[in-house]
Chain A
Amino acid sequence: MTNKEVEKPSKGSTAVLVFCGLTVGLVVVHVLLRGSYPPGHPIRLLVTSLMGLGFASFIFLYTRMLANMDEYQRQIQLYALAIAFPLSLVTAWAIGYFRAEGLLAGRDPRDLPLVLLIPYAIGFAAAWLKYR
Chain B
Amino acid sequence: MKNRLKVLRAEQNWTQEELAQRVGVSRQAINAIETEKYDPSLPLAIKLGKLFGKPVEEMFALDENTDHG
A8 at the B interface (CB under 8 A): yes
- Docked-complex contact B44 and A9, CB < 8 angstroms: no
Chain B interface residue count, CB cutoff 8 Å, equals 15
B19 to nearest A CB, angstroms? Answer: 12
Number of A-B contacts (CB under 8 A): 42
Given the known A-B contacts A71-B44, A72-B32, are A6 and B37 also in contact in the complex, defined by CB atoms under 8 Å?
A: no
A73 at the B interface (CB under 8 A): yes
- Docked-complex contact B24 and A72, CB < 8 angstroms: no
Query: Which chain B residue lies CB-closest to A4?
Result: B24
A11–B28 alpha-carbon span in the complex (Å):
14
- Docked-complex contact A1 and B32, CB < 8 angstroms: no
- Docked-complex contact A6 and B24, CB < 8 angstroms: yes
For this complex, 23 residue pairs linking A to B, each with C-beta atoms less than 8 Å apart, are: A1-B43, A1-B44, A1-B47, A2-B24, A3-B24, A4-B24, A6-B24, A6-B25, A6-B26, A70-B29, A71-B41, A71-B44, A72-B26, A72-B28, A72-B29, A72-B32, A72-B33, A72-B38, A73-B26, A73-B28, A73-B29, A75-B38, A131-B38
- Residues of A whose CB lies within 8 Å of any CB of B are 1-6, 8-9, 69-73, 75, 130-132
